[in-house]
A and B are shown apart, each in its own frame.
Chain A
């Protein structure tokens, strides 16, 4: 019975994440269009695209790794989603919240991109491999401020679990966004790299790499990749809300907080053209890491 509820919880969480993530993606397209003074597609366009892709028949494959690449990607998104608590006080299915901590989360988040990288590697498309190396390089860049921010929180509150950090916020009554401002800034700046919107869209780089790792995928492969991306977006935003904005008690609050956070990378990207890879890496090792260092110093002193 307990197992059944767990599985049910995982499925419901997944569906919510899928719908929210897809809608956010559609809103992103809409907002981008309005900023560029276009009309843009309706906000539910992503659902139409997903439906179309999933109903397409697949005719070719490049071998077993290519076939399974999107499944690797999905493992990482869904696992991230299941580890991150959706609401405070487990007002939602707890899923795997108590089974893993932040270090596990950081590592499971890299599982998917690497699996996907193998899948797109097997297609033999050089653009895919170039995109992957760019993506991994960028990851080395943004992981530094991101980890610095997390470690600052960990050492200040002597816990490495997400629930522990949420409880600490509930007890003190202040969000970490205000009590650990430097960690928040570092984490938000690292978020630009994590979401890979402009100016850090060097992986897909539409004009140079013809969408990079995704280039040989269509139909069902692309559908799975797209849903994985949506779920991952939701999971990452929820993680940020849990860590820095005190979590959310119900769905409207969660949507409000996540969407507010989501606007940061979108709106920043609209005003900035794409960086080159080494510029992007060095950008993350500049001010974001400086703020991360400040966060650690603050955590050690307090």
Chain B
């Protein structure tokens, strides 16, 4: 069991070494960085046994570390995505400044997330949670300036969440006298009703902030888009899942004992649905790929929250499967944006177009990731979406399922915008020099894309660990025997048999591709994107035919009324209100000795004048 200590020592030592190795040479720094992450990862999977716990007693408080099946499931996301993103980071950070700073925080984030998963007591959970917040905050302000207060916003919301969690921890301790999560769960059914309600609310606030749940999501677009893309793939892919991790534990182990738990579930499920719908609408509106993906992350986390919150078997499976899928496809997409940013210097759809022939591998991974995101079969996203819909329909959430359907249909618009904006459309002279990204960046993306394709027909690879994790939390499984055969079942007994469907899709596609290519892809001549018939006229050389501004404008006009109000504005108004209040206070506390002398003088005069009345 000492392996677990060793892993954390490797992480800490590696972080510090990497930070200082920059002075000796950038290659050495890269090597130490990769060795730290990959070494700790392989050590974790080789040396750490599941359900093997160890305790120690610093200062009279019992702390327990160890991993259960549920944590192990999330460790796949954290360490899997973390390792691939680490490989990607080496390519991405090449030639950038503050590499040591980046690597240091990257390693600390991965360590903190793993720490959260192995913590079996609330104290180490909280400490790792704070390390995670700090290291990600430092990444948000990577550029050194925080002009738009994006980092500040992230930090304030994280602090609100952390205080809520701290309060809950203190409340729990006052009842149980221990900090162990297991004891908290055992003691929960005997607590008084008001505590039974307040403790989950406080915890869910903390987790909701990290999972970017409406109305606590406002930090996410700014924070996701201003940290370096190599980190954002982890930030959005893995770090946000920590909120889901906590949420599932609270929902499954605690709220299911509460008779009033149904209100928690319904509220959370509807918040998730609203998050999904509104996040999607705002994603369609964005012209910057980073912002688009950030809003899309919020929306996708909404699906996950909905699935987890309705709490039926299929719902939990759907939520957790989508969580893994989201880590994969959003990780890939942020990496794609990073690659494009590195090769072209911009991430704006209105500037970059027509990269498909210049960056084919990047396009390939983006295409698969987008298909998975849209939930189109035969990729893995469909499995999650299918289970989510069936879970909602079979558990009588008729209106919620329509909201979710609306969100995921509208998501096609931003999916197309992403692919079209970067890769399709007119090829412009400005981007003629663009080359494919270096191999260290392309390989992780392609690997993740292929894994998504595999999960579409063999979802058992992930569903089995999910099942084990749920059983660990005290949930009974029934569908387990079907996953090795790749059949999806709902509780009404309807099924989707994935493999024959995949084979048919592939067969039909190949057949018609051959029909089209017959007598030659070679026989036809490639013509440039300027050589088209636009209304029967051949466009001139300098005619601008790029379509990127006002993308999906008619749709946004149709949904205009919904998007008039933005919760962010209320927060900003509240903050402005506080600021002006403090401005007013500063007129009283001027810091000037003479003003204070006047106050004292006035006070004494008042006392003297009214001494008969007062005393």
Residues B551 and A101 in contact, CB atoms below 8 Å apart? no
Which of B374, B398, B413 makes the CB contact (< 8 A) with A151? B398
Residues A220 and B508 in contact, CB atoms below 8 Å apart? no
Decide yes or no whether B144 CB sits under 8 A from chain A: no
In the assembled complex, which residues on chain A have CB atoms less than 8 Å from the CB atom of B386? 103-104, 107
In the complex, residue of chain B having the shortest beta-carbon distance to the beta carbon of A82? B504
Decide yes or no whether B377 CB sits under 8 A from chain A: yes
In the assembled complex, which residues on chain B have CB atoms less than 8 Å from the CB atom of A147? 401-402, 405
Residues of chain B at interface, number, CB under 8 A = 78
Decide yes or no whether A93 CB sits under 8 A from chain B: no
A252 to B51, CA, bound (A): 65
Q: Mark B511-524, 1 if CB is under 8 A from A, else 0.
A: 01101110101011
Decide yes or no whether B43 CB sits under 8 A from chain A: no
CB-CB under 8 A for A59 and B376, given A139-B409, A144-B405, A161-B494:
no
Residues B555 and A221 in contact, CB atoms below 8 Å apart? no
Residues A124 and B516 in contact, CB atoms below 8 Å apart? no
A99 to B526, CA, bound (A): 40
A82 to B500, CA, bound (A): 12
Q: Mark A72-116, 1 if CB is under 8 A from B, else 0.
A: 101100110010000000000000101111011001101100100
Residues A98 and B497 in contact, CB atoms below 8 Å apart? yes
Residues B533 and A151 in contact, CB atoms below 8 Å apart? no
A298 to B359, CA, bound (A): 53
**Residues of chain A in range 18-76 having any CB-CB distance to chain B below 8 Å:** 57-65, 67-68, 70-72, 74-75
CB-CB under 8 A for A136 and B412, given A60-B527, A100-B497:
yes
Determine, out of A152-160, A177-185, A240-248, A258-266, the stretch whose residues face the partner at the interface: A152-160
Which of A65, A79, A96 makes the CB contact (< 8 A) with B356? A65
In the complex, residue of chain B having the shortest beta-carbon distance to the beta carbon of A220? B516
B48 to chain A, nearest CB (A): 39
Residues A110 and B412 in contact, CB atoms below 8 Å apart? yes
Residues A130 and B547 in contact, CB atoms below 8 Å apart? yes
A96 to B498, CA, bound (A): 11
Decide yes or no whether B82 CB sits under 8 A from chain A: no
Residues A125 and B545 in contact, CB atoms below 8 Å apart? yes
Decide yes or no whether A188 CB sits under 8 A from chain B: no
CB-CB under 8 A for A67 and B517, given A124-B530, A127-B534:
yes
**Residues of chain A in range 133-186 having any CB-CB distance to chain B below 8 Å:** 133-134, 136-137, 139-141, 143-144, 147-148, 151, 154-155, 158-161, 164
Decide yes or no whether B473 CB sits under 8 A from chain A: no
Residues B554 and A71 in contact, CB atoms below 8 Å apart? no
In the complex, residue of chain B having the shortest beta-carbon distance to the beta carbon of A110? B376
B436 to chain A, nearest CB (A): 15
Residues A133 and B534 in contact, CB atoms below 8 Å apart? no
A79 to B376, CA, bound (A): 13
- The CB with the most chain A CB atoms within 10 A, among B382, B509, B525, is that of B509
> Which residues of B does A touch, CB under 8 Å?
354, 356-357, 367, 371, 374-377, 382, 385-386, 389-390, 393, 396, 398-399, 401-402, 405-406, 409-410, 412-413, 415-417, 419-420, 424-427, 490, 492-497, 500-501, 504-505, 508-509, 512-513, 515-517, 519, 521, 523-536, 545-547, 551-552, 554-555, 557-558
Q: Can you identify 19 A-B contacts, CB atoms within 8 angstroms? A: A59-B524, A60-B525, A99-B495, A104-B496, A107-B377, A117-B416, A122-B356, A122-B529, A124-B426, A124-B528, A140-B413, A140-B555, A143-B406, A144-B406, A160-B490, A161-B494, A276-B554, A277-B555, A281-B558
